[in-house]
Amino acid sequence: MCGRYSFVPSSHQIETYLRDIYLPEEITFSPHIAPTEYAWVVTSEQPYALQAMQWGLVPAWSKEFRPSGRTINARMETMFEKPSFREAARYRHCLVPADSFYEWRRQLQGQHIPYRIMPADGSLLFMAGIWEEWRRAGEAHRTFAIITVPASRQLTELHDRMPALLLTEEARSAWLRGDLSDNAWLQLLSHTLSDTYLTWYRISDRLNKPSFKDPILHEPV
């Protein structure tokens, strides 16, 4: 799964990967984005600007607006079948930028050890996402979920799932365009990562506290 991530792009990452995307004046970056918090995404509706949305997808048909940690991820294999995700999976795509994501490795003793995972070459990640707009009585809220796929071979020692990563401009543009068939989407998201693409290291267990936002979370321990 993907339950925490970081978006604190370096000046190089901004210049290289976000040069054509408008960054709002009020933008702030966070080394620790947790479920139900607001985060920045790029949508098919506005492909050249970052928008703030709440993490935890709420379907448009839901009676109440109640973002939940249970809908932060949509599994690639079932996103076209699950009522909560299927409309967004077909018609409302987004990119979720990140410099890294976090995962916990479960030890035999039951202890969970947090790790920071990122591209070995220092590139910026773009995770595939879907989004929804919930409207009632003058209220409007936008929420998103990150799509997950089976973990790459190297990452399975940490977890069996990982975010779907869109590695090229062509893949990102295709995802935002939204003009492929269901099977074509699955092929786009299920590419194989090389064994050297990602690197990771252990970090502070203060990641366990969602309110802890210090950049020290980027430092190895």
Catalytic residue positions, numbered: 2, 103
Helix, strand or coil for residue 207?
helix
Instruction: Pick the closest to residue 100 from 169, 201, 176, 183 (CA basis).
Output: 201
C-alpha distance from residue 107 to each of 11, 24, 62 (Å): 37, 42, 38
Look at the block and give the residue holding tokens 């999976």. 89
Q: Are 107 and 205 in contact (CB under 8 A)?
A: no
Tell me the C-alpha to C-alpha distance, in Å, between residue 110 and each of 20, 106, 206, 209: 45, 6, 17, 18
> Is the separation of the CB atoms in 69 and 157 below 8 Å?
no
Cα distance between residue 84 and residue 61, in whole Å: 9
Which residues have CB under 8 Å from 104's CB, separation 6+? 112, 113, 114, 115, 158, 159
Q: Residue 187 carries which side chain, given as an amino acid letter?
A: Q
Report in angstroms the alpha-carbon separations of 27 from 9, 40, 50, 132: 12, 9, 9, 22
